[in-house]
Every structure is written in C-alpha cells, then in structure tokens.
Amino acid sequence: MAMSKLGSAQCGACPSARAPLLIRPKATVRHVAANAVAGATRPTSTLVREVQASDKPLPPGEAGLPFLGETLEYQKQGVLKFALDRYRKYQSPVFKTSIFGQEVYMVCTLPLYQAVIAEDTRLVNFTVAGTFGKLQGDYISGVMSNRDNSRMPWRRSMLGAVTADALAGYGPQVDAICRAEVAQLASEAEWDLNETTRKFGMSFANTLLAGLDLEDGREQAEVRRDIGLFFDGLFTFDVDLPGTPLRKAFEAKARLEQKLRACVTRQLNEILAEPKVGGQPANAPKVRRNMIQYIIDARRAQGDRVDIEFLTMMALGTLQAGTDTTAASMSGLLAMVAQLPGVQARIREEQAQVAAVHGEGVSKASLDASKYLDAVVREALRLYPPSTMHWRTSEREMELDVNGGLRIPAGSQLVFNTLTAHALELNPDWLQSAQGAGDALPQGMDFRNLEANFQPERWMEPDPAKRPSLMTFGGGPHVCLGMALYIMEAKAVLATMLRGHSLHLLGPQPLTWQEMPMAKPTGAVRMRLAKLAA
C-alpha cells in the first residue's frame, strides 16, 4: 500500500534578489548557516541551473527503514527540529530522507527555497500522485502538474476574482458572515475551535468561491462533512474498498459534484441571460458575487467554451481548498491570539480608531487601514503555517550551487520546509549555537512561548527589506492566488470578534499541535468569546 504524496496550496511572495549560497564541502556548520541566509545581492537563479548530465554528487542523507524511512523520527521530532538536526548532521541545506513512503530531498533555507520555486513549471512542478491525483481527477491533476502548459491559462482565468475591486466587492458578504457567526459564538458559554473555524472556512469558501445555495444548517453540516471526507481521502493509503477513507472520499466527491453541477449551471445561465449590446454583455457588473462567476467572465472574454464539467471541478477544488486552508490557518491564529491579551488590547484600540473613520462594519477599506491587525495575521502565518512543507517534482536534472554543487535528478521529489526557512532567516547562527544543539526551538519559532516569540511588530518595519519573508503560501510565478483573500477573511473575523469581546482559551493547556496534512491544534480545543462591559 502506498501513501499518497502530500501536496498543498501555494502562496507567498515572488523571490527578491539574493546572494549566492556558496558552501564548500569542508564548511563548518557556522559557515553553512551563515551562507544559507547570507546576503540579498544576487538573483536567486544563480543558485539553481538546469544541466544535461551532471557529475556532481547527490545531496547527503539516509533512506532509513524500508517503506517507513525516517517517518517515525519525523513524527516524534516535528517538521522544524527534524530538519534542523539533519541540516547540522550533514552540514547541507538540502538532504535526502524518506518520509511517508517517499524518498525526498528536503530543502531547508530561504534562498534555495526561493531559487527553486522561482522555476516552478519549468524545472519543478506540483506533485500530483497517489490518492491525491485520483480524487482530483484527470483534468485538475493535469492543470496542477502543468500538463500541456495548462497551469498559467488556468490561473489567468482566476485572476479577476482576487483583484482589489473583487475583494472590495466581497466586503458586504464577509461582514455579514462575521456578524452572524460572532453573534452566535458570543451567546455560547464555550465552543470548539476547530469546528468553529471549519464553519467559517466553508461559509467563506462557498459564498466567495463556489456559490452553493444551502437551505439550512443541516445541509451546511452535510456539505462540511463531505468536504472533510474528500480532504481526508487526498492524504491516505491507496486502498479503494468499502469503508476505507478513499472509498468514502469518492462517495463524498460524487455528492458534492451533484450539488455543484447544479450550482454552476444556474450561475452560467444567469450570466448568459444578461442583456447584450452588439453581441457583448451590456452593463455587465464590474464586481461579481464569487470566483466561479469571474471564471465564467474570463473564459467568455477569451473566447473559450464555458464547460459545465470544468466549472464543477473548479468549484469543487476551490471549495475544498478554501475550506480546509482557511480553517487550519484560522485555528492557529485564534489559538495564539486567545493566549495574548496584550495583542487583543492593541487590536481593539486600533479597531476603535478604524471604526470611527470607516463605520462599524468591516470592509476592504477598514481592513486595509488595520495595519496592526494585518501584522498579527501575518505573524501567525509565519510562526505556524497551515502547510509546513510544500512538495514539488523535478522536471529536469538540475544543480544546486551549495557545498561545491549538488545534483537533483529529474523525477526527484523535493520538499520545501517552510518552518526551517522562516527560522534560519531570523536566526542565521542557530545551527552552530549551543541552544541549536539541544532541544530548544529557534527564537521567534517557539509557539509554546508566545509572549516572547509572537511579535507582530516585525511586520511593521518601515523598510520592507527588513521584514521577514513569508513562504507560508509558497512563492515564485505560481504563488497561491488565495493568499490575499485569506488575509482579508482572517482580519475580518478578528476585527469583528475583538471590537466588543475578548477571546479566551479554556483548554487544554498547553495545546498540542498536528503538522500533517494541515498544521492546527489537535483535539477538542475549548474557547469562549466574552462580551466586554460597556
């Protein structure tokens, strides 16, 4: 039985100029760490190049036990400590390991991460295999793996949904969702964190991306359940038998597709029925209600046939990704902020000023004015991102300009470790420090000690070059288009909650966190939203 490879939605910033990562074979760990984060004076493309037949060695490392590889050590240590220990052991920012039944090369430093991901769709492509590929289907798998250069046209059709005008147009819907959900939470003595964030995630994803008409709470719960079953099937053993997660995922997918097919058909017919002048839509709305409608507009503008099955698969993909990524990200954000009353007080102070100018509801304008709130959301994404690792497949043989040169064969699996990239950017000397040799986590990365490590102010540095990098949603030419939408949603939820309430973590304390397939607090995490005295 083969476990599917783990994929993730990709978001982040395009790579900026970086210095060469010149690490010699005999380099000490100090030199390795320092050079890995050194300078921003030369394009990252100098760190990676395509080759025909390299004589350079493969990255160092071990495969571990048959099939299991080093999975048990990985699960015991966690993503960050596992990678830092092997970086130190091999004195290499990229090394071989085997996790979840896959032999991979793990990339640990920001310059290498940015250099390789900048070549997305040319030297590397999204990893689509196992149950992930089976459930996504041939079309979506083909787009994600850039079959026939299909990924960029696919992305272009989605761009209209994340423009500034589109985000502003979503404002009233976002405000309505936040007001309704926060009012309900405030009326309850306590509520479950992960269950609540899944409700938020699906409400946002359905309203802003897919557009399903869900009649009541029962139908909403059924759709949330099916999205969960579908997601669980993406990352499971490839066994399609009655009662297995994969079979349940296929059954859930069929139910979701039936609902979504009717939904997109209705929306397409509504758009086709709009008045036309000279064969073109007359007075077509500048702002649509959701992403599917923007995609319909884009396909028509390009002269492409608008296919119902294509729209159905797009709606399913965005509904699932939007629900699960938003839920995991928001779970981490709320869990952290609930433990930081000082951060809450500063958000509340800022929101009082924002509301005095922009009114009581949240809107794109009010959220754009919420600079500290924006920094809080970004700091949570940096400290504990929903996707701690991003997977790619090398399309061509390449050389990495580290340790005198390392060879990555075509067809290799690459894993980009987001946590180590963030950690070593802030702590370039960590690997050679006494603390780094022990069990401690690097400064700025220990979510168990939030007072010392959660610092939104780092994102308010006037000089953008001095702010941290944020690779949570990937980077390069195919950075996730949903990043701006998630940040808007997260800010709206926190602003609505904290304008008149305080957020509390009731238990358990300390929290335990899972890292795969999505990073979030585990178990029943009990929260309370307490109304503030007038």
Each residue of 299-346: pLDDT tens digit?
888 887 888 998 999 899 889 889 989 999 999 999 999 999 999 999
Give the pLDDT confidence score for residue 280 in this predicted structure: 65
Q: What pairing do the DSSP bridges indicate for beta strands 124-126 and 389-394?
A: antiparallel
Give the pLDDT confidence score for residue 409 in this predicted structure: 97
- The answer for residues whose C-beta is within 8 angstroms of residue 218's C-beta and 6 or more apart is none
- Contacts of 299-304 with C-beta under 8 Å, sequence gap 24+, read 299/157, 300/271, 302/157
> Given a cut of 90, is residue 509 above it in pLDDT?
no
Each residue of 145-160: pLDDT tens digit?
878 888 888 888 899 9
Does any domain span residue 61? yes
Cα dihedral 107/108/112/118 (nearest 10): 70
Task: Tell which residue, 376, 332, 248, 392, has the closest CA to residue 515.
Answer: 332
Give the pLDDT confidence score for residue 37 in this predicted structure: 32
Q: 117: domain range?
A: 29-129+385-455+474-478
Task: Tell which residue, 227, 171, 205, 199, has the closest CA to residue 527.
Answer: 199
Q: If DSSP codes are grouped into helix, strand and coil, which group holds residue 531?
A: strand
CATH number, residue 418? 3.30.43.20
Each residue of 225-269: pLDDT tens digit?
999 999 889 888 889 999 999 999 999 999 999 999 999 999 999
Give the pLDDT confidence score for residue 35 in this predicted structure: 34
What's the mean pLDDT in 420-427? 92
Q: If DSSP codes are grouped into helix, strand and coil, which group holds residue 282?
A: coil
102 forms beta bridges with: 99
> Given a cut of 50, is residue 358 above it in pLDDT?
yes
Give the pLDDT confidence score for residue 284 in this predicted structure: 58
Query: In total, how many domains does the chain have?
Result: 1
Q: If DSSP codes are grouped into helix, strand and coil, which group holds residue 467?
A: coil
Q: How confident is the model at residue 41 (pLDDT cuts 50, 70, 90)?
A: very low
Does any domain span residue 41? yes
Give the pLDDT confidence score for residue 281 in this predicted structure: 61
> Given a cut of 80, is residue 19 above it in pLDDT?
no
Does any domain span residue 69? yes
Give the pLDDT confidence score for residue 16 in this predicted structure: 28
Does any domain span residue 9? no
For the chain, what percent of residues have pLDDT higher than 70? 90
DSSP secondary structure string for all residues of 30-43: HHHHHHHH--S-S-
Task: Tell which residue, 147, 10, 13, 32, has the closest CA to residue 89.
Answer: 32
406 forms beta bridges with: 400
Does any domain span residue 498? no
Which of the two residues, 292 and 439, has the higher pLDDT score? Answer: 292
For the chain, what percent of residues have pLDDT higher than 90? 58
Give the pLDDT confidence score for residue 514 in this predicted structure: 82
Query: Which sign, positive or negative, has the C-alpha torsion 464, 29, 111, 418?
Result: negative
> Given a cut of 60, is residue 30 above it in pLDDT?
no
Give the global pTM: 0.87
> Given a cut of 90, is residue 121 above it in pLDDT?
no
Cα dihedral 13/152/261/268 (nearest 10): 100
Give the pLDDT confidence score for residue 44 in this predicted structure: 43
Each residue of 466-497: pLDDT tens digit?
999 999 888 777 788 899 999 999 999 999 99
Q: If DSSP codes are grouped into helix, strand and coil, which group holds residue 69?
A: strand
Which of the two residues, 29 and 280, has the higher pLDDT score? Answer: 280
Task: Tell which residue, 118, 5, 8, 108, has the closest CA to residue 61.
Answer: 108
Does any domain span residue 84? yes
Binding residues for heme, as ranges, are: 480
Query: What is each CA distance from 335 to 52, 196, 246, 326, 442, in whole angstroms?
Result: 49, 12, 31, 14, 21
Which of the two residues, 33 and 477, has the higher pLDDT score? Answer: 477
User: Residue length, the chain?
Assistant: 534
489 forms beta bridges with: none
Give the pLDDT confidence score for residue 525 in this predicted structure: 95
> Given a cut of 90, is residue 64 above it in pLDDT?
no
Q: Are 414 and 124 in contact (CB under 8 A)?
A: yes
What's the mean pLDDT in 110-129? 88
Binding residues, as ranges, are: 480
Q: Are 339 and 505 in contact (CB under 8 A)?
A: yes
Averaged pLDDT of the chain? 86
Task: Tell which residue, 129, 102, 105, 100, has the closest CA to residue 116.
Answer: 105
Give the pLDDT confidence score for residue 9 in this predicted structure: 36
Does any domain span residue 266? no
DSSP secondary structure string for all residues of 212-245: ----SHHHHHHHHHHHHHHHHHHTSBS--STTSH
User: Per mean pLDDT, which of 14-23, 31-40, 425-434, 458-467 is the most reliable?
Assistant: 458-467
Does any domain span residue 120? yes
